[in-house]
Amino acid sequence: MTSQISFAEQISQPRHTAINSTPVWARLHQHQRATRHVHMRELFAQDAQRFDRYSLTLDGLLLDYSKNRITDRTLELLLELADAANLKQWLCWMQQGERINVSERRAVLHTALRLPAGQVLNLDGVNVVADVQQVLAACGDFAEQVRSGAWRGYDGQTICDVVNIGIGGSDLGPQMVHEALRPYCQPDLRVHFVSNVDGQHLAQTLEQCNPARTLFIVASKSFTTPETLLNAHAARRWLVAAAGEAAVARHFVAVSTNRTAVTAFGIDAANMFGFWDWVGGRYSVWSAIGLPVMLAIGPVQFRQFLAGGAAMDAHFFSAPFARNMPVLLALLGIWYNTFYGAHTHAIMPYDHGLRRLPAHIQQLDMESNGKRVGRCGERLDFDTGPVIWGEEGVNSQHAFFQLLHQGTRLIPSDFIVPLNSHYPDTAAHRVLVANCLAQTEALMRGKTETEVMRELAHLPGDELDMLLPQKLFPGNQPSNTLAVDKMTPYALGMLLALYEHKVFVQGVIWGVNSFDQWGVEYGKQLASQLLSEMDGHAAATHDASTAGLMRHFQERHYG
Ligand code: F6P
């Protein structure tokens, strides 16, 4: 175990982050070379207890990680890697509010959003838990007013449509949670999410709404994101055209850290729900950014969602790493990404409600760990965050699973499944679960030549020769299965917090700052420059392709 050092020492000594120069890094490479031909089929055949030994549960959430290309030795080495990266201390630094988001000099305290009321966590002399609870209570009051019909629109009617206008973390998290928890939503209150700056997104949403009964939430941590402001202004014009300026106060609320910009937009500060710079956008669904979810499911269920997150936090901060879900998931990911050279990781929810989960995890993981420079500014000469992708199960079996089963690439994946449905068709649910389990089994086992021969024995020789290789399944494709009893707000809270911590652990081991996102800035700069050129305000030199495309647009655009 690395000796205890202070946070200031850690970040001033890049050698602590040069993980690829540690002896255990080299040992893991050797171990991978020595074991890469071992088939998981053999590992299961050798150990009848493999499932029991390589699975764990927490409050009804089961993680089965036995279908991975690992042995006890692999886990031992990966745990040593976690020690070499000083992981234990990083957990403490995060939990205590050290400014681990080094490039922005910010603490990272989304876990404080889930702490129960009454706890104390001081940051710069302020108990952030008290602040969090205050905003939560304000959001709860507001949500109850809207849900009960006490909050009325400009002409006295109740609200029946809520439109959340936000993008990235101010959209993906709440949208995904809202979809996942539909069975808990109040039926007469529809919640819509508008993120894209493409005018059809807002227009198609507003077609379904009546201005007198629509509430807009402008959700933006910075309140400077052009896409969100553009959509918010368009929505405001739509409302004002129907109801006049005075209606804005009853139909617009904001969620932001930027009070000045919110009031400049014309939203009364009394209708603003705040949060703090120590909550990253992609970690913000637990804050007031979750307001559309709270409106839909109510404050009581929202607190259940927070409680699920808190349960995962408590586990993460206290369980030994060998029995720690987020740590294990992170180490397994590193095993494939770094030591096998797998470039992607797939997320397969076998739950229609979780169909936006891959998109949310995509932002969470790729915006956090898609980095080539370490937290101290040093260039990293190994691969970091993988490409995250995925789709809801069963549908994806009929789309891209062919490549997983018989393609040439190693693609680790997570299968997520609720064991019980909220809906009455239990027969359909059994089919869904059977498919989920069958896929992980097939990916692991594959199908051997002997097994295929048995099926094709009746065929003439030349046809057999042609078909046999095509019907072989190599297997040995790793997967984790995450099963919850039912997709309740609590279970979903656990699941999301699990992924957040997994991403953090991987960032610590690779030595990146998982909490900034400088990579999205450059495109924004160039887009605003191109826009001024389109408006005839500036001219710049571009490469021939961009200049050609710009000319093409200007020649053919009618607007
Ligand atoms: O895409 C960059 C980003 O800053 C994300 O990290 C964030 O979630 C999103 O934009 C939206 O930002 P804001 O909530 O400030 O509008």
Asked if residues 484 and 419 have their Cβ atoms less than 8 Å apart, the reply is: yes
Distance 197 CA to ligand 1 centre (A): 14
What span, in angstroms and rounded, lies between the C-alpha atoms of 322 and 410? 25
The pLDDT of 232-253, averaged and rounded, is 97
321 φ/ψ sector (left φ>0, alpha ψ -120 to 50, else beta)? alpha
Most confident segment among 87-91, 265-269, 540-544, 555-559: 87-91
Q: How far is CA 10 from CA 88, 93, 426, 544, in A?
A: 13, 11, 53, 46
Instruction: Give the helix/strand (H/E) hosting 128.
Output: helix 128-148
The pLDDT of residue 215 is: 98
The pLDDT of residue 270 is: 92
Asked if residues 489 and 181 have their Cβ atoms less than 8 Å apart, the reply is: yes
Distance 170 CA to ligand 1 centre (A): 7
Residue written as token pair 């995925």: 390
**CB of 226 closer than 6 A to ligand 1?**
no
Query: Has residue 240 got a pLDDT over 50?
Result: yes
**CB of 264 closer than 6 A to ligand 1?**
no
Asked if residues 19 and 456 have their Cβ atoms less than 8 Å apart, the reply is: no
pLDDT band at 1 (very low <50, low <70, confident <90, very high): very low
The helix, strand and coil proportions of the chain, stated in percent and rounded to the nearest 5, come to 55, 15, 30
**CB of 404 closer than 6 A to ligand 1?**
no
The pLDDT of residue 3 is: 53
Note the pLDDT tens digit of each residue in 430-476: 999 999 999 999 999 999 999 999 999 999 999 999 999 999 999 99
Query: Has residue 2 got a pLDDT over 80?
Result: no
Residues 368-405: b if buried by 16+ CB within 10 A, e if exposed: bbbbeebbbeeebeeebbbebbbbbbbebbeeebeebb
Is 501 considered catalytic here? Answer: no
Asked if residues 22 and 81 have their Cβ atoms less than 8 Å apart, the reply is: yes
Asked if residues 491 and 308 have their Cβ atoms less than 8 Å apart, the reply is: yes
Shortest-distance Cα residue to atom 3 of ligand 1: 168
> pLDDT averaged over the chain?
96
- Ligand 1 pocket test target in 225, 273, 521 with most atoms within 8 Å of CB: 225
Ligand 1 atom with the smallest distance to the CA of 169 is 8
Which of 186, 116, 176, 183 lies closest to 148, judged by CA? 186
Is 398 considered catalytic here? Answer: yes
Shortest-distance Cα residue to atom 2 of ligand 1: 520
DSSP letter for each residue of 252-312: EEEEES-HHHHHHHT--GGGEEE--TTS-GGGGGGTGGGHHHHHHH-HHHHHHHHHHHHHH
What span, in angstroms and rounded, lies between the C-alpha atoms of 543 and 551? 12
Distance 195 CA to ligand 1 centre (A): 11
DSSP letter for each residue of 344-398: EEEEEESSGGGTTHHHHHHIIIIIHH--SB-TTSPBP-S--SPEEEE--TTTGGG
Which of 87, 473, 144 lies closest to 298, judged by CA? 144
Is 524 considered catalytic here? Answer: yes
Note the pLDDT tens digit of each residue in 140-155: 999 999 999 999 999 9
pLDDT band at 7 (very low <50, low <70, confident <90, very high): confident
What span, in angstroms and rounded, lies between the C-alpha atoms of 301 and 283? 19
Distance 89 CA to ligand 1 centre (A): 29
The pLDDT of residue 536 is: 84
The pLDDT of residue 16 is: 53
State what percent of residues in the chain have pLDDT above 90: 93
Shortest-distance Cα residue to atom 9 of ligand 1: 168
**CB of 282 closer than 6 A to ligand 1?**
yes
Asked if residues 418 and 486 have their Cβ atoms less than 8 Å apart, the reply is: yes
Residues 488-504: b if buried by 16+ CB within 10 A, e if exposed: bbbbbbbbbbbbbbbbb
Q: How far is CA 486 from CA 181, 246, 361, 417, 434, in A?
A: 11, 45, 20, 9, 16
What span, in angstroms and rounded, lies between the C-alpha atoms of 80 and 496? 26
**CB of 360 closer than 6 A to ligand 1?**
no
What span, in angstroms and rounded, lies between the C-alpha atoms of 73 and 136? 46
What span, in angstroms and rounded, lies between the C-alpha atoms of 136 and 271? 14
Asked if residues 287 and 134 have their Cβ atoms less than 8 Å apart, the reply is: no
Note the pLDDT tens digit of each residue in 9-34: 887 765 555 899 999 999 999 999 99
Asked if residues 418 and 426 have their Cβ atoms less than 8 Å apart, the reply is: no
Length of the chain: 559
The pLDDT of residue 558 is: 85
**CB of 220 closer than 6 A to ligand 1?**
yes
Chain centre to alpha carbon of residue 376:
25
Note the pLDDT tens digit of each residue in 162-209: 999 999 999 999 999 999 999 999 999 999 999 999 999 999 999 999
**CB of 356 closer than 6 A to ligand 1?**
no
The pLDDT of 291-298, averaged and rounded, is 98
Asked if residues 351 and 417 have their Cβ atoms less than 8 Å apart, the reply is: yes
The pLDDT of 104-124, averaged and rounded, is 97
Q: 61 pairs with which residues across the strands?
A: 58, 484
**CB of 397 closer than 6 A to ligand 1?**
no
Note the pLDDT tens digit of each residue in 49-82: 999 999 999 999 999 999 999 999 999 999 999 9
